[in-house]
Amino acid sequence: MARKKIAAGNWKMNTTIEQGIELALRVANAERNISITTILGVPFTHLFPLQKKIKASSKILLAAQNCHHKTSGAYTGEISPEMLSAMKVPYVIIGHSERREYNHEDNALLALKIRAALNSKLKVIFCCGEGLEIRKANTHINYVKNQLMESLFQLDANEMKNIVIAYEPIWAIGTGETASPAQAQEMHASIRSMLQKKYGKRVAENTSILYGGSVKGNNAQELFSQPDVDGGLVGGASLNSDEFVQIINSF
């Protein structure tokens, strides 16, 4: 089975519900390659209204952008994986660099979140990636390896079916500076070989690895043509339906 090609939008903390519905419907109704798995990572408040508005036939899947690591309890302001799965939200993004930075989420906490999400039958888009200092010091591969080892590699091979990895170098997020296709390919191939060492060839071949960090309509094709780049996690450009559709159609 060939691994999935995925275009995932990450809207972050953008759009009102009304704007979000309009944006999602534009993507849903656009002329696009529906063999590409298309995911919209939207604010919690948007999940329910979007489920009502988007027809199943449009093959758009929703993702939450975070979840808590407990099922329920006295955690004011949090959303549990169970709540998402009861709503039939298929995906959750875990470990985005903005949550690591602003909400102090570390590898150990992210391991708990991944475990909790899988226990609730969610699929996880797990984000990893290095900052500029690490890149300059040329230790980026080991840095990402450590992120995977401390958060993800607790899972068994069977559970890895529910994981998508998103490599997002922090220096490329929202900066307009993209990793070159060769830089992306180098990291993606390294991640795949880490998967192979830990889980064997089948898991390595079947796990989709997305690139994120200033993916745009005009650079997606080159990035996605790299052999180990299976798609993108797209922030800013996913807020423009025409550009996001262009990205979906760049495979």
Active site residues: 96, 168
The letter for the amino acid at 128 is: C
Q: Residue 232 has which token pair?
A: 């993108």
- Nearest approach in angstroms of CB 40 to ligand PGA is 12
Identify the residue among 20, 95, 212, 231 touching ligand PGA (CB under 6 A).
212
C-alpha distance from residue 233 to each of 52, 118, 246 (Å) = 24, 20, 14
**Helix or strand holding residue 50 (H, E):** helix 44-53
Q: Does 105 bind ligand PGA (CB under 6 A)?
A: no
- Where does this chain touch ligand PGA (CB under 6 A) — which range of 16-24, 147-155, 206-214, 242-250? 206-214
Q: Does 247 bind ligand PGA (CB under 6 A)?
A: no
Q: Which is nearer to ligand PGA, 173 or 191 (CB)?
A: 173
Q: Residue 187 has which token pair?
A: 């990291």
Dist CA 66 CA 77 (whole Å): 12
Q: Which is nearer to ligand PGA, 127 or 155 (CB)?
A: 127
- Nearest approach in angstroms of CB 17 to ligand PGA is 21
Identify the residue among 120, 214, 219, 226 touching ligand PGA (CB under 6 A).
214
Q: Which is nearer to ligand PGA, 39 or 111 (CB)?
A: 39
Q: Does 129 bind ligand PGA (CB under 6 A)?
A: no
Comparing CA positions, the residue from 134, 119, 130, 7 lying closest to residue 67 is 119
- Where does this chain touch ligand PGA (CB under 6 A) — which range of 45-53, 138-146, 155-163, 209-217? 209-217
164: burial class by Cβ within 10 Å (0-12, 13-18, 19+)? buried
Count interface residues toward ligand PGA (CB under 6 A): 13
Q: Does 128 bind ligand PGA (CB under 6 A)?
A: no
Show the binding pattern over residues 4-33: x = contacts ligand PGA (CB under 6 A), - = does not: ------x-----------------------
- Where does this chain touch ligand PGA (CB under 6 A) — which range of 18-26, 188-196, 198-206, 235-243? 235-243
Contact (Cβ atoms closer than 8 angstroms) between residue 211 and residue 205? no
Q: Residue 210 has which token pair?
A: 């997305």
State whether residue 249 is helix, strand or coil.
Answer: coil
Comparing CA positions, the residue from 81, 74, 68 lying closest to residue 118 is 81
Q: Which is nearer to ligand PGA, 168 or 230 (CB)?
A: 168
Number of other residues whose CB lies within 10 A of the CB of residue 154: 12
Q: Residue 221 has which token pair?
A: 């094709």
Q: Which of residues 143-182 bind ligand PGA (CB under 6 A)?
A: 168, 173-174
Dist CA 238 CA 68 (whole Å): 25
Give the interface with ligand PGA as residue ranges (CB under 6 A).
Answer: 10, 168, 173-174, 212-215, 233-237
